[in-house]
Amino acid sequence: MKKLICLALSLCSLCACNDSDFLKENADDFLTVDNSYLNASQFRTGLNEFYRIVRQNYNFRDDPNYFFQFGIGTDIMFRPVSDMDMYTDWSLVNSTTDIYRVVYGRHFGMLYNVNTLLKQTENPDVRWSNEAEKLAAQAEARFFRGYCYRYLGFLFGGVPILTEPVGTPSLAYTRDSREDVYRQCIEDFDFAAKNLPVSVTEPGRVVQAAAYHYLAEMYIALGDETGDKSMYQKAIDAASMVIDQKVGEYHLMTERFGWRKDVAGKDAFWDLFQMKSEDGFSNFSYQTGNKESIWVIQVDKFVQGGLNDGLATRTDQERVFWPAFWGTTKFGYDGNARDWTGRGISWVRPTPYFCYDLWGKSGSEDQRNAEFNINRIYRAPKPIVNGVEVDDPNKVYETGVTLEDGTNIVVKLRPGDIIKKEWLTTRQDTMERFYPRIMKCGSDWHYAAEPANGFVMEWYAIRLAETYLIRAEAYLKNDNKDKAAADINVVRNRANAKPVEAADVNIDYLLDERARELYAEEFRTLTLCRMGLLYDRVKRFGYEASAKTVRERNNLGPIPQSVIDANSQAEFPNNPGF
């Protein structure tokens, strides 16, 4: 009995102990943040995950809705198969549209991990080589936090700002203001700009120039949001850090370069978008000599993890943005893709405004509109014999065509003959098969000569040409049209385009120039939402069905209904009109 009393007293003493270290669980037999991230190399593993998640914004699944942010339904592109497709018909966009749930969750999921990793950097058990190593890891993590809030703020406006790990679930989140979201972005990008490395040996890792680029853009956004014009000068200063080579050697590529520089009849702009060679040489990479490249989304068909799980055999630029001319059974084509045709499936078509008006405004000298950069002339192909294309100048293809006036004719073509526009009279002809093909979105060769799954091309997240256009926007809004025109003309000069006069520079001209330079690169939808001009530009320049259905509410995306429902213990209003 005495022994039992002593044991009971001992247990009482143990339970009464308030020493938190004594009570803390030691996770010796399973992984936690506390024991998984204890040195720089382990933090590198965690940081690499953020790059993988960002890559999902560029190449996620075979579904055109996942490419909405590139500008589907805006002034420059639309879904052509049916006028009832999402974004072609803007009335179909609402708070239950699933893509908004996907991107909202993707970026808040990354924010959770960023904040968790940042907290761990302050754990005294972490073995840093020096303070600079710690600051660099924090800077990289904060770059991605800024990236997330930039995306969310541009698309949705105000969202909850979280800068600490979330320990317990909550049903009472509320929306912070868009202004505060932008200020958080500026704080994070400013820290990243000061503490990231100037250069790296690993392609695709972010550097100071990337942070300064986004910092400049965020200062413009904050100036627009608050009316504080001093922000525009700060944007100019941030962009100048990159343009003036204060954070690394950057310049536009004006001479032929890369592994295909000897291909005749092309230019440096064409070289920028050549797929990685079979032996791994990347034209996109800063490390191989592309000094215009600031941040590139990395993909590789031949490396484990080099592509996303949802699309593990290819990237989708070609399928999304190229027409399916190979799929016709007219004019000598047999419905099978060839190595040089690629395998576009016309998910997204450039608008008439992009195809014609925008280039008419730019002038005929603009090489970005040259045939080798935008293919407008389609020709009858060579015949295939025993699975191989052969030269046969005597081959004649006969195709029955009904002209627009109802006349039936038989078109006879030899290989290489031009397919005339007046023979393209069906909706499928002009909407899916034959329309201007933006060559930077695809390739005239494919791995193993296999167009279905042999296309894998990197993406530019940031290119110096855009930094010039960001600074031009800041100059314009800071009432300095002369310097705005000068920056725009640096970009235009590379294309041999006629310089713009300062008097002609306005926000419409700037957006036109962004389209000419950055089509299928920039997230056009986010740019227009940032400026509050999506409705205006679509109404004036969008495809007819898009222009009829777009509403002012579309200047922001809808907050996902699932997010509103999850915050049942607080007011979480949707954006106006939704």
- CA nearest neighbour of 340 among 440, 453, 449, 419: 449
Q: What are the residues whose beta carbons fall under 8 Å from the beta carbon of 346, sequence distance 6 or more?
A: 80, 81, 322, 323, 324, 431, 432, 433, 435
Instruction: For the chain, give the mean pLDDT.
Output: 94
Angle at 227 between CA 145 and CA 542, to 5 degrees: 75
User: Residues 532-557: what's their mean pLDDT?
Assistant: 98
pLDDT of residue 31: 56
pLDDT confidence bin for 28, thresholds 50/70/90 = low
* pLDDT tens-digit series, residues 355-405: 999 999 999 999 999 999 999 999 999 999 999 999 999 999 999 999 999
* pLDDT tens-digit series, residues 41-68: 999 999 999 999 999 999 999 999 999 9
Please say whether the beta carbons of 561 and 95 come within 8 A. Answer: yes
Percent of the chain scored above 70 by pLDDT?
95
Q: How many helices (H) and strands (E) does the chain have?
A: 21, 10
pLDDT of residue 351: 98
Please say whether the beta carbons of 145 and 115 come within 8 A. Answer: yes
pLDDT confidence bin for 33, thresholds 50/70/90 = confident
Please say whether the beta carbons of 283 and 459 come within 8 A. Answer: no
Residue 30 has pLDDT above 70, yes or no: no
- pTM, rounded to two decimals: 0.94
Please say whether the beta carbons of 515 and 76 come within 8 A. Answer: yes
User: Residues 435-463: what's their mean pLDDT?
Assistant: 97
Residue 437 has pLDDT above 60, yes or no: yes
Question: In terms of pLDDT, which residue wins out, 355 or 310?
Answer: 355
pLDDT confidence bin for 14, thresholds 50/70/90 = very low
Report the distance separating Cα 201 and Cα 197, nearest Å.
10
pLDDT of residue 35: 78
Each residue of 289-313: b (16+ CB within 10 Å) or e? ebebbbbbbbbebeeeeebbeebee
Coil, helix or strand at residue 577 = coil
**Look-up of token digits 């933006």:** 438
* pLDDT tens-digit series, residues 545-564: 999 999 999 999 999 999 99
Residue 311 has pLDDT above 50, yes or no: yes
pLDDT of residue 26: 56
CA-to-CA separations, 22 to 17, 18, 26, 35, in angstroms, rounded: 8, 8, 10, 18
User: Residues 198-210: what's their mean pLDDT?
Assistant: 98
* pLDDT tens-digit series, residues 475-504: 999 999 999 999 999 999 999 999 999 999
